[in-house]
Structure 1
Amino acid sequence: MAVFQVSDELLGTFFPIAVYWIYSGIFVLLGSSVDSYRLHPKGEEDVKNVASKATVIRGVLVQQAFQVAVSLLLFAVIKDESGTQRLQLPLWIIALQFIAGMAVLDTWQYFIHRYMHLNKFLYKHVHSKHHTLVVPYAYGALYNHPLEGLLLDTCGGAMAFLLSGMSPRTAILFFSFATMKTVDDHCGLWLPGNPLHFLFSNNSAYHDVHHQLYGTKYNFSQPFFVAWDKIMGTYMPYALVKRKEGGFEAQPIKNK
């Protein structure tokens, strides 16, 4: 009896999208149980954010549709015409490809992201859409103008995939992890024991600083490390302090 199998290319295309909605859905389900770990009081989502949540969901789905189209096209171009099974690479090579992909994606996104802030036309007509979410939340992580989504995320991901030399199977893990990291950075929470906060200085508090008016010229790095901010002089450190009414606040340390 024939067994239905899904190709690595299809998994690499659609699995990160499933991860996006499942992981962000977990944050939604946590609801008021995590109010004491919020970086903003819950009510500020509705007061400060311009875009409605329905608009955000539609915007994310549009961006993901672009991602699917580009991903399928990319995999179709590089697909082995012989149809032979790829050799299993040693774990250390896969790890190096993973690290290389992270470095490429960080570099691409830092400079494109920063330019979208420096160029007044691009900021007004493109990138400002993402910053309508002054109070970030998980499923708003990919709420961008379609052009930004194409340049920053889709093209950046394609560059990371191609330049690192990773296989479609490795890409499943890489893009799923990158998706989780992006959602986590926008979740608006500082949850105790979050392993991503121990592994990366680029986290939900670090990125929350960037979403505030005082931080729009700083903390451009995403999604993994803060190296480019430190190298380019756009790093804004912060202190995480408890609010009297509950929760936390990332207060900038102004040493500029």
Structure 2
Amino acid sequence: MVFWEGYLSDESMGTFAPIAVYWIYAGMYQLLPPLDSYRLHTRKEEEQRNLVSMSSVVKGVLLQQLVQASVAELLFLATTKADSAGAPEQPSVLVQFMQILVAMLVMDTWQYFVHRYMHQNQFLYRHVHSQHHRLVVPYAIGALYNHPLEGLLLDTFGGAISFLITGMTARTAVIFFCFAVIKTVDDHCGLCLPGNVFHLFFQNNTAYHDIHHQLQGTKYNYSQPFFLVWDKIFGTHMAYNLVKRPEGGYEARPAKD
């Protein structure tokens, strides 16, 4: 039994919970004090180097989430109608864990190749993917700031394919989609906080993705949001050294391996 049972369907939670979690988690980062001792870029860099205002970023994220919610509703509707026996029985915790792990690998695979192609195809980079790179200095609220077409192809379709391939229930999808959202937000937060569990358990983290947003790293570190598998296999992995800046904070310096 889950806390929303009797109030909302699993399908509705699968659609709207990731959106709520995005704004709660990203908003938490936004409300934190400056924390200059843990920032990967100074606040001055963020103001001077970013090419888009926060209001435009918020509008862009809301547009992507509108499309995301529409596709999710259609996806859940289609899979529910396909199951003539009614709501599927919830599998064991072990099965759900394995489904989520496989879904993570599927999402990583989809996003790596789509993301990489958007960099290699000059038309797609110039007219689509470059919108995300207007945030030269990423921050949490901008994690899903993308061109609408990129949001659909990279994130929304990536989530849908992961859901369909693993055969997870809508209830399991709530857990997976919310976790993926939290991880994506954290990868763009721009902070290396001590004790951050994502930095402890994932090499693909805030500093790793920050390298990709730097000029010398745009052809590397395409993997997102979980593992480094495809970067390692295809030679697009760029290691980094995390060093302290004299004026405070950290800097992720590329060190191609």
TM class, shorter-chain normalised?
over 0.9
TM-score, normalization by structure 1: 0.96
The answer to whether structure 1 residue 72 and structure 2 residue 73 are counterparts is yes
Listed one character per residue, the Cα deviations across residues 119-169 of structure 1 (whole Å, up to 9, x for unaligned) are 000000000000000000001000000000000000010000000111100
Listed one character per residue, the Cα deviations across residues 14-65 of structure 1 (whole Å, up to 9, x for unaligned) are 0000000000011011131x11100001111110000100000000000000
Alignment length (residue pairs): 252
Listed one character per residue, the Cα deviations across residues 202-231 of structure 1 (whole Å, up to 9, x for unaligned) are 000000000000000000000000110000
Q: Distance in 2 between matches of 1:188 and 1:103?
A: 24
Structure 1: runs of 5+ lacking an equivalent: none
* RMSD of aligned residue pairs (Cα, Å): 1.2
Q: Secondary structure, in 3 states, of the residue corresponding to 1:89?
A: coil
Moved more, 23-32 or 167-176: 23-32
Structure 2: runs of 5+ lacking an equivalent: none
| Misfit runs of 4+, over 4 Å | 80-83
Q: Give the fraction of aligned pairs with identical amino acids, expressed as a percent.
A: 61
List aligned pairs for 1:214-229, cutoff 5 A. Answer: 214-229=216-231
1:235 maps to amino acid? H
The answer to whether structure 1 residue 35 and structure 2 residue 36 are counterparts is yes
Q: Secondary structure, in 3 states, of the residue corresponding to 2:157?
A: helix
Q: Distance in 1 between matches of 2:237 and 2:6?
A: 49
Q: How far off is 1:82 after superposition?
A: 4.4
Q: Distance in 1 between matches of 2:32 and 2:123?
A: 38
1:192 maps to amino acid? P
The answer to whether structure 1 residue 61 and structure 2 residue 59 are counterparts is no
Could you say which residue in structure 2 is the equivalent of 1:144?
Answer: 146
List aligned pairs for 1:16-35, cutoff 5 A. Answer: 16-32=18-34, 34-35=35-36
Q: How far off is 1:185 after superposition?
A: 0.1
Could you say which residue in structure 1 is the equivalent of 2:135?
Answer: 133
Q: Distance in 2 between matches of 1:135 and 1:59?
A: 17
Could you say which residue in structure 2 is the equivalent of 1:163?
Answer: 165
Could you say which residue in structure 2 is the equivalent of 1:176?
Answer: 178
List aligned pairs for 1:43-58, cutoff 5 A. Answer: 43-58=44-59
Listed one character per residue, the Cα deviations across residues 62-117 of structure 1 (whole Å, up to 9, x for unaligned) are 00000011000111111145473421311111111001100100000000000000
TM-score, normalization by structure 2: 0.96
Q: How far off is 1:254 after superposition?
A: 3.1
